[in-house]
Amino acid sequence: MSTVSTKPYLMRAIWEWCVDQGFTPYLACVVDANTRVPPGYARDGQIVLNLSHDATGHLQMDNDYVTFQARFAGTAHSIVVPVANVIAIYARENGQGMAFDPDLPEDETGAEAGADAQAPDMSAATAALRAERESEAREEGAEREAEDDDGAPASRPPRGSHLKLVK
């Protein structure tokens, strides 16, 4: 009897924790032929998706796929992400969550990519988190320049990354 990966169970647990804490769950994933996302939104073969109740409709996180409805630039899209392509799920507000090795398909030689005993390549998750932080830093800079109605500068709490690699 083959066992089911723990990855989808951990993803659902982190998503539930984020929601219970009032955080915004983000899903970072690799985009390939099996991933259905709106064209033009993936960068460097990756995309970060907001999985909050406000941003999604009909969210389903099963053992093989994450599916939901979402709006991009005002247009509704059906999103399909294979669990194998998920590289991280984390809270936007503090970066806490979990990073995963993507379950890469076999290459042309038949050997599984990354099957040797070296440390897993976390460059995909790191790049997704770096892009998200750069975007947030630009937003924070704009907010610091802006002032609220009281004349006090607007600010947000600092963010950190506390991702754990799970194989």
The domain spanning residue 127 has which CATH number?
2.30.30.220
- Does residue 97 sit within a domain? yes
**Phi, psi values for residue 148, rounded to 5°:** -80, -175
Buried b (16+ CB within 10 A) or exposed e, 151-163: eeeeeeeebebeb
Q: Is there a domain that residue 115 lies in?
A: no
pLDDT digits (tens, 9 = 90+) for 125-150: 555 555 665 655 555 555 544 444 44
**Residue pLDDT, tens place only, 79-130:** 999 999 999 999 999 999 999 987 766 543 333 333 333 333 445 555 555 5
Long-range CB contacts for residues 99-104, cutoff 8 Å, separation at least 24: 99/125, 99/163, 99/164, 99/165, 99/166, 100/7, 100/125, 100/165, 100/166, 100/167, 101/165, 101/166, 101/167, 102/29, 102/30, 103/5, 103/7
Total tally of structural domains belonging to the chain:
1
Residue 2 forms part of a structural domain:
no
In a domain, residue 25? The reply is yes
Task: Report the residue count for the chain.
Answer: 167
Let me know if residue 134 belongs to a domain.
Answer: yes
Is pLDDT above 80 for 7?
yes
Tokens standing for residue 164: 């754990």
Vertex 62, ends 56 and 65: CA angle to 5°?
75
**What SS3 class is residue 96?**
strand
Q: Could you tell me the residue range of the domain that residue 125 belongs to?
A: 7-104+121-166
